[in-house]
Structure 1
Amino acid sequence: MIGLRRHPAWHQLNRLADGELDADSRARVMAHVVSCSKCPQSLSFVRRLGEAGRDMKHPSPPKNLLAEVLQHRSEGDRVILPAASPSSRRKRRLLPAAAAAAIIVGLGVASLTLTPEVGAGASELKFFPPQPVPGERIRVEYRPGVELTGETALRLRLRLRQSDDEPPRGVLGTLDELVLEPDGDGRFVGNYQLPPDFAYAAFAVENLAGDRLDDRQGHFWSVRAHT
């Protein structure tokens, strides 16, 4: 009798990538990964998704900082420094803050010009609404590039994160998936219910066989919660 070898579940690969398996479980999963033609790619995908969401652990800048900096710029100020003449030591301490303010201005201006869609070569992935509130149901539309053309359906892979800490694995900080169906207009669409404490999600699209992946050239698509 020929036995069927089962691949590790996605939550097992997720815990392996995050270093959360005990020694015996890790050895058992790794023994399969090194002998499998598909699972190394899946494990690499899980790790890249994890890296894409780790920046959410850093606290956000004050909400009014961007508005204040933009106001200074509209009044003709191009360098954000104190009006008084501080000591040279004080100036040196303020240089990192000024640089951070300049970066925030750049990000703020970019956010005014970017659309809610990002291309991956000839492909694009859109979310409606582009900045959903936690717990909202979103619509996903994907127009494939050359690598995923001709499929009857596609799978959306996503990893959800919380902004400040690692929540229970069954709620956030893990992988989920959604099958996208063709809409007859060259796109693949689906709807996804976000969890109530959603803050950030990273996305990639693959064929149902799992051997072809569009991950935006390793950068992934992402959505942040509107708060």
Structure 2
Amino acid sequence: MKPWILGLTGGIGSGKSAVAQCFIERGVHLVDADHAARWVVEPGRPALAKIVEHFGEQVLQADGQLDRTALRQRVFADPAERRWLEALLHPLIGVEISQYLARAESPYAILVSPLLIESGQHRMTQRVLLVDAPEQLQIERTMVRDQSSSEQVEAILKAQASREERLRHAHDVLSNDRDLGWLQNEVERLHHFYLTLKGGQA
């Protein structure tokens, strides 16, 4: 039987990675949309050639890898360029994710994506688990992790789907505001529940 797909999302600093790791330890097949986004632009892949053709050699590093910072500066400054890039990459990332999920041997598989809702990737899933945390805690965690200022973190929070929007799409919400032991128990509980589901629906 084909595994059903659980979408795992949450704002920056909510603890998505810790939750994802807990599921991996339970043998759940997991693909990370951010990794897929990196794979599609590796040297030798068609997407990279199209990006260079469109933006010029300035978006390449000396070793032929994509210079993400240079590309990001180009598309952030120009919404039309950003749309062009998204139109090229989103379908390719979708294919990459689907192929990877299709190899899953666990009863359900997980797609982790910070932009699950915004990118429309939630349409590839049968159920959505939102990792939620109080905004102040998200800001503190991210500042520690990325050595960034609270202004930088708040700017990222604003760019991501609003919390209300994410909660509206979520079937399950895991409030990650306690310690790791508690988190692991919650994942264990959800995992057992997910194993009883057919096609992701109770």
TM-score range, shorter chain: under 0.3
- Which structure dedicates a bigger proportion of its chain to helix? 2
Taking structure 1 as the reference length, the TM-score comes to 0.22
Taking structure 2 as the reference length, the TM-score comes to 0.23
Greater relative CO (CA pairs within 8 A, separation 6+): 2
